[in-house]
Structure formats: C-alpha cells, structure tokens
Amino acid sequence: MAVHPIEYRYFYPEMKRIWTEENKLETWLKVEATLAKVHAKLGNIPQPSSEEIERKANLNFVKLERVKTIEEEIQHDLMAMIEALTEVCEGEAKNYVHLGATSYDIEDTALSLQLKDAIKIIENDLNELKTVLINLANNHKQTVCVARTHGQHALPTTYGMKFALWATEMQRHLERLEEMKRRVLVGKMTGAVGTGASHGEKAGDIHKLVMEELNLESTLITTQIVQRDRHAELVMKLALIASTLDKMAKEIRNLQRTEIAEVMEPVKVKQVGSSAMPHKRNPHKSERICGLARIVKSFVYTSLENVSLEHERDLTNSAPERIIYTEAFILLDYMLRQMAQILNGLEFNYDNIKRNLDLTKGLIMTEHLMNGLVKKGMGRQEAHEFLRNCSHEVIKTGKGLKEVLIDNGISKYFTEEELNWYLNPKNYLGNAINQVENVIKTLSTR
C-alpha cells in the first residue's frame, strides 16, 4: 500500500522508475558487472569469470526479494546484494564478485548513473516548458497590460515580456545543469578510504576504466565516498529551478485574483473549487506548485549538512540521501510538467486586462508625460513635481488624469492630439516587442 504522496499523487512514471528499489539494485549490479569486466581486461581475473558475473548481474538472476531477505539478517543493503550475486554465480566467478571494491565504490557510482538519467528528464522538462513559454511570448508580444511594482500599478508592459523573461530563466537553468555535470556525474573505484590500496598497482587504471565504461567522470581524489559538495551543488540547482516555478506560479495566482482576473488556470468541466462555495474557481495547480517548491528548497539545508562528514566518512549522509534525491527529482519533474500544462491551457481575459490598464485613470502614463514635458522645455524635476501634484488630485477627486492635466494648464505644452498620444499605453512600451522577438530568436537556436 502506498504511503508517501510521491508514490500515488505527485509523480510521473518515467522519473519515479529511476528511484525504485528495483532500478537502484539493477544499477548497483551494472557497476559490479563493469568492475568485473575491467578486472578481466587488465588480467586480474579470468575472462570466463568476468563473463559469468556480467551475465548474472541483473534482475533476472538477482532478485530484490532475496536481497531484502539477506539484508534483514546482515543489516547491510549493499553487502546483501553482493551475497545474492555471489549465490547465483557459478564456478570461480564467485571468488571475484566485488573484488577490491568498497560499498560506496558501488553506491556512489550507481547514484551518479541514476542522477544522470534523472537530470536528463529534468532537461527535457525544461526544454518543453521553454518551448511553451516561447510560443506564449510570441503570441502575446503585443498584448499590452499593466506592470506592477511593490504591488502597485507602475507602467505598461506586455504579457510577451513576462513569458519571454521566464523562457530565458529556463535557458539559464539548462546551462547551469550542463555546466555542473562534469562535477556531479562522477564515480569512484578507489576503495575503503580512497587510496586504492585494495586494487594494488593497477588502482588508477581500474578507477579510470570503470568510469570510462560507465561514461562517468573520474574523480581526481576521494575518501571512502565522493565528496558531498558535488551533490549539494546539484540540489541547489534543483532548488533554484523550483524557485523559478514558485515565482511563475505565484504570478499566475495573483493574476487570477478576483479583483485582477486577467488570466485563469485551465479548468475541467466538472472541476470543483470548494465543497462549501459552488462559485469558486481556485488556482489550485499553481498553489500546489508553490507548496511543493517549499519542500524541494528545504532539501538545500540537508544537502549542505551532508558535506561536513567526519574524517574519511561517516554514515550520517546515508539516510537523508535516500530521501532528498528521490523526492527532489520526482517533485521537480512533476512541478515542471504541471507548469507546462497550466501555461498550455492558460486563459486570458482581455476585457479585464484593458480594464486594469485604465484602472488608475491614466496615472500609469505619468512617466511618459514627464518625458514629453521635458522635450517641450520643462525641467525634469519641475515636470515630476507637476505630475505628482496632478496625480494626487486624481486620487483625491476621482477625476481622470487627462481632465486634471487640462485643468492645470497642460494645454500650454500639448495639443489634445499630443496629450492623447502620451496617454495611450501602446505608445509607451519602449523596445519591449523587440526584446521579446530577440529572446524568441535567441532561444529558438539553443
């Protein structure tokens, strides 16, 4: 029976499979088989023994149930795998299983293989989400809306700017993941304290060749384990992606507020928002992403704590790592795919977008007007003070900015046609459209 929500609620099967007990065991066995292959290549063990270990090092012969039974008795999961593999090997091959290795030669190397597969899925998710955002940016590069700073209406912008901005963030996450791989996707085959003593004079060759076979980077130096600064960097990168999704989801939630109501999450025909309030249409998918982001970000602390292990290693990292990598990757994969679904079905209320542009009765155009007054000969500070006083009058009286400006003598500087031009949000977008088009062009080639 499933207990944890990542087992039955917040997951997609492809990522979940990477972190199953079966896949973990299969990956351990893959490393064991590779070690035997390298030993044979270097003449350390007979070729037939290597072939027997390679043939038996899979789930067809080594059963998870048997490994668990052995572990229950000996209280060591990796050693249980070794015993189960040794049991099924025939002849001399039994003598060479796990030769010269320590548990974390297998565990850390196998973990990197799992991380490699998991990162690939995250990269695919990021690319898919980036594509969705590029399409939205292109479709809405001229959808003028109000920008908000400090929660207040500021200036005109476009929805294309929002989506293009997020798309560039996806690209940076992809670049960070790629750049980090050479530090994180590493393995070791250097024995119990990192000296390689158990492999003798061929220790360096064994370490190098095993990693080449597995297509992993070789560590330059280790203790019993790969140092956890590498893994902490990875978790911080995952948390950074979660933070971006948190930001995006929060923006969607705020824009769906009743009093703003510019965009809406997609909704199914029979979807219920509240058991008590039949009218509710809540942004629950975005809220869920914000909530799950808190969990992923919390793993940064744990991963940093795992860096400071004692001497050549202690086991305090083991239990946390059984949790944080599995949950971080499964949840982040879920969040990325959910965000893509939200954005693919995002609904726009253009009437409300226009209503909100006009809500402050022209106040969002005061910077544009100030620049225009300077061009007409008024000093910049004088123009600022003039418009500040007019703005306060708008707020106090409820009149429109145009009316207040005319009452205060703006006609000395602008004709009515010029005034209308300066008050039109579409005329104060700077190079927003060009920026969006440049983002689309740049990201479409990456």
Domain boundary residue among 328, 349, 370?
349
Q: Please indicate, yes or no, whether residues 119 and 162 belong to a single structural domain of this protein.
A: yes
Answer yes or no: is 269 within a domain.
Answer: no
Own/partner pairs, 169-172, CB within 8 angstroms, 24+ separation = 169/244, 170/126, 170/127, 170/129, 170/130, 170/133, 170/244, 171/130, 171/443, 171/446
> Taking phi first (over 0 means left), then psi (-120 to 50 degrees means alpha), and beta for anything else, what does residue 212 get?
alpha
The per-residue pLDDT string of the chain (446 residues; one tens digit each, 9 = 90 and over) reads 888 998 889 999 999 999 999 999 999 999 999 999 999 999 999 999 999 999 999 999 999 999 999 999 999 999 999 999 999 999 999 999 999 999 999 999 999 999 999 999 999 999 999 999 999 999 999 999 999 999 999 999 999 999 999 999 999 999 999 999 999 999 999 999 999 999 999 999 999 999 999 999 999 999 999 999 999 999 999 999 999 999 999 999 999 999 999 999 988 767 777 667 777 688 899 999 999 999 999 999 999 999 999 999 999 999 999 999 999 999 999 999 999 999 999 999 999 999 999 999 999 999 999 999 999 999 999 999 999 999 999 999 999 999 999 999 999 999 999 999 999 999 999 999 999 999 999 999 88
Q: Which of 292, 318, 349 is the last residue of a domain?
A: 349
Backbone angles phi, psi at 193, to 5 degrees: -130, 10
Domain-located, residue 412: yes
The answer to whether residue 274 sits within a structural domain is no
- E-strand ranges in 35-151 read 144-149
In a domain, 272, yes or no: no
Whether residues 176 and 316 fall in one domain? yes
Residue at 438 is within a domain: yes
Same domain, 217 and 300: yes
- 274 annotated active-site: yes
Same domain, 178 and 115: yes
160 and 309 part of one domain: yes
Q: Write down the catalytic residue from 150, 275, 279, 311.
A: 150
Same domain for 74 and 194, yes or no, is no
The pLDDT value given to residue 274: 63
Residues 122 and 206 both lie in one domain: yes
Residues 168 and 308 in one domain: yes
Whether residues 12 and 89 fall in one domain: yes
Check residue 337 and give its pLDDT.
Answer: 98
Residue 273 lies inside a defined structural domain of this protein: no
Give the number of domains in the chain: 3
Q: Tell me, yes or no, whether 46 and 125 share the same domain.
A: no
Are 307 and 323 members of one domain? yes
Pair 15, 164 in one domain: no
> Which domain-ending residue is among 349, 380, 406?
349
Pairing of strands 144-149, 217-218: unpaired
Write down the pTM of the prediction.
0.95
Cβ atoms < 10 Å from Cβ of 279: 6
Catalytic residue (one of 4, 76, 274, 308): 274
CATH number at residue 33: 1.10.275.10
Tell me which residue range forms the domain holding 332: 103-141+150-264+279-349
Whether 150 is catalytic is yes
Dihedral of alpha carbons 195, 197, 198, 204, sign: positive
